């Protein structure tokens, strides 16, 4: 008899953002007049920039003509895209990452979720708490986490690194040595960033302990301060211990276009085994490339016009972040993030639970945010708002929250 993968049954509840979507949908149906403002799921609202739209139209035309039609993409992605990424995202920052160390994909979420497949099931995983749920859930599904302890709200075999007010939402080196360390900076959900010297300590630690860092840099475009690394490969020795994930979703509004990439240095090994060929094999076997037209759109992000336009877009969202940050401070909330990241992390008032505050905000202000506890037990009593709304709605949402 066919048997299901029983690891799935260990997952508590449904995927966080699916749950939020369902709650909001139900509230909207019950209250058709409510003008709901969504600052919950980290989805962007600004349209794709004109230079990118132009590139898309032109690529669509290519697909419509026999001479320029493109079928299956090359395994790692088109060279025109990998070359410009290598130049602009890495070499320009002094990182020695070559085109063939870049794997184009349909987004960082997929890559973050799939990367664990190239590692054995006995690896010990460390994650921040709170954390982007995909890192944990994908490891649960494959059987790397042990059982769920409902009292502790934790999986038995996962190392959790609490990110608290007290430590500035920064993980501390765990007492037990992990094999795989998920780090995300600028952080989702807290919006915290790690300075270069601090990240260097993690790189050194990983190299000393033969751990691999899985570094999610999906929000690097929002870094505004100096001395905050955009890539882990700015740190010395990172080529020997790190894999990096990048996304076009927040950088250029590609949440609905789907494009990202993963960097695996060719000389990265663990236990004597190279990682690059494993991911190449996985990529070639279980994936079939991002659409040509979307890869062309990705290349346009790096054009002079494209770059200028997305910088304006990022400035726009960071303007929203400032409005939320200052508005909530004025209203007496304890808030962080929002300076080098599009996320604002706030403490719920009156020690409300995160989900109670979610319901409260949805019902009283018709504003949707994300409950901090959805990101892990140490997210309890916190709440995430995003800067990805449009300006008008962001202002309106903050005004409504102020009136509560």
Q: Is 142 exposed, middle or buried (0-12, 13-18, 19+ CB in 10 A)?
A: middle
Q: Does the protein bind a copy of itself through residue 284 (CB under 8 A)? A: yes
224 or 269: CB nearest a copy of itself: 269
18 or 334: CB nearest a copy of itself: 18
Residues 59-78 that bind a copy of itself (CB under 8 A): 60-61, 63-66, 69-73, 75
Residues 383-402 that bind a copy of itself (CB under 8 A): 390
45 or 353: CB nearest a copy of itself: 45
28 or 349: CB nearest a copy of itself: 28
Among 81, 90, 114, 337, binds a copy of itself (CB under 8 A): 114
Q: Are strands 242-247 and 260-263 parallel, antiparallel or unpaired?
A: antiparallel
Residues 28-47 that bind a copy of itself (CB under 8 A): 41, 43-47
Q: How many CB atoms lie within 10 A of CB 307?
A: 16
Tell which residue, 177, 232, 230, has the closest CA to residue 206: 177
Tell which residue, 223, 290, 275, has the closest CA to residue 251: 223
Contact 100, 317 (CB under 8 A): no
Dig out the tokens for 161 from the structure. 């690194």
Q: Does the protein bind a copy of itself through residue 292 (CB under 8 A)? A: yes
Q: Bridge partners of 245?
A: 216, 262
What distances in angstroms separate CA 65 from CA 61, 70, 71, 96, 127, one per listed residue? 7, 9, 12, 38, 48
286 or 403: CB nearest a copy of itself: 286
Binding mask 219-258 for a copy of itself (x = CB under 8 A): ----------------------------------x-xxxx
Binding mask 311-330 for a copy of itself (x = CB under 8 A): --------------------
22 or 91: CB nearest a copy of itself: 22
Binding segment (CB under 8 A) for a copy of itself, from list 82-90, 94-102, 277-285, 340-348 = 277-285
Residues 137-156 that bind a copy of itself (CB under 8 A): 137-138, 141-142
Q: Are strands 154-155 and 148-149 parallel, antiparallel or unpaired?
A: antiparallel
Q: What is the DSSP letter of 301?
A: T
């Amino acid at each position: 008899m066919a048997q299901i993968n029983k690891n799935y049954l260990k997952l508590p509840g449904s995927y966080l953002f699916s749950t939020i979507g369902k709650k909001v949908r139900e509230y909207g149906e019950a209250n058709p007049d409510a003008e709901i403002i969504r600052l919950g799921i980290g989805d962007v609202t600004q349209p794709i920039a004109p230079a990118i739209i132009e590139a898309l139209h032109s690529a669509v035309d290519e697909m419509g003509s026999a001479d320029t039609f493109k079928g299956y993409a090359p395994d790692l992605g088109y060279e025109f895209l990998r070359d410009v990424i290598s130049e602009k995202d890495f070499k320009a920052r002094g990182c020695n990452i070559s085109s063939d160390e870049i794997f184009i994909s349909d987004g960082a979420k997929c890559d973050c979720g799939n990367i664990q497949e190239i590692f054995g099931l006995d690896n010990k995983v460390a994650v921040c708490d709170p954390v982007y749920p995909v890192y944990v859930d994908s490891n649960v599904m494959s059987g790397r986490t042990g059982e769920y302890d409902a009292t502790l709200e934790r999986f038995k075999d996962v190392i959790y690194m609490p990110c608290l007010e007290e430590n500035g939402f920064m993980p501390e080196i765990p007492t037990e040595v992990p094999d795989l360390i998920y780090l995300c900076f600028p952080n989702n959900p807290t919006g915290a960033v790690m300075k270069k010297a601090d990240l260097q300590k993690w790189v050194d630690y990983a190299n000393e302990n033969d751990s691999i860092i899985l570094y999610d840099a999906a929000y690097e475009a929002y870094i505004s301060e100096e001395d905050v690394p955009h890539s882990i490969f700015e740190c010395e020795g990172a080529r020997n211990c790190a894999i990096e994930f990048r996304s076009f979703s927040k950088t250029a509004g590609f949440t609905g276009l789907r494009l990202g990439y993963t960097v695996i240095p060719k000389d990265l090994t663990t236990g004597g085994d190279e990682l690059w060929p494993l991911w190449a094999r996985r990529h070639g076997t279980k994936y079939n490339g991002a659409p040509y037209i979307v890869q062309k759109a990705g290349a346009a992000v790096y054009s002079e016009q494209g770059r200028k336009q997305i910088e304006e877009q990022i400035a726009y969202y960071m303007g929203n972040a400032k409005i939320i940050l200052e508005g909530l401070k004025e209203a007496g909330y304890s808030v962080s993030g929002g300076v080098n990241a599009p996320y604002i992390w706030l403490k719920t008032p009156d020690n409300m639970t995160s989900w109670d505050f979610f319901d409260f905000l949805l019902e009283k202000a018709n504003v949707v945010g994300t409950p901090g506890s959805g990101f892990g037990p140490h997210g309890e009593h916190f709440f995430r708002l995003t800067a990805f709304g449009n300006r008008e709605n962001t202002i309106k949402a903050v005004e409504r929250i102020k009136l509560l």
